[in-house]
Structure 1
Amino acid sequence: MRIVSKYLVPKGYKGLTIFPFVFLKQSEHATDEVLLNHEKIHLRQQLELLVLPFFVWYGLEFLWHFLRERDVKRAYYSISFEREAYANEKDLYYLKQRSFWRFLKYFD
């Protein structure tokens, strides 16, 4: 389910996914197929980890990368879930062939 809310999406981002919702900053983002595919990849990741563990893992991985990089943006882009989503967001058929827990390929 898509919800448009400029207040729920952090500054500098276009979308945020918290299963089963995709929050979009602006209504025109609802037609951005690449952005929506990116967020759908996060929905799949969250389902695979039964939602709550996804956010725990995401937070711990962000913290680990932040402590290593000392840079919020670099830490964010280093998270395995984000690396998978950004690497495949332009492939609109990715989710049809994606294997289970594929984000592990991007974990380091």
Structure 2
Amino acid sequence: MGLMHTVVCYVNPLGSMRLFSGPRASPTTSVLAHVYGMQNLYTGSIRIFAAYNIDTPPLYYLATLTYVGTIFLNATETFIWKTARFEETKFAFLPSSIGLVWLFTQKDCYLS
């Protein structure tokens, strides 16, 4: 999903940043969309590489960290900085939370 959003960040930079439309959001720029797109590219790439090498502990923990980072980004932008509204970020929380719970609960199956 993040890799698809990377493409959207480059094809439609201003539209891709609708997530950050909270009460204290600054004006959206193409540069901000491109940076966000690159962040999604790195995160998605790490997750794909970790999925193919799921039994490698450093990659497993790095993939786990990408989910923590995504939750942290959305939580701080929504609840602390108020640059995003929960209506937009709730759909970002769901897959990240599911992925993080899965990685924690299934750790023993993958890293034996």
Q: Please, what TM-score do these two structures have when normalized by structure 1?
A: 0.31
Higher relative contact order, structure no. (Cα contacts within 8 Å, ≥ 6 residues apart): 2
- Structure whose residues are more often helix by fraction: 2
Higher-strand-fraction structure: 1
**TM-score w.r.t. length of structure 2:** 0.30
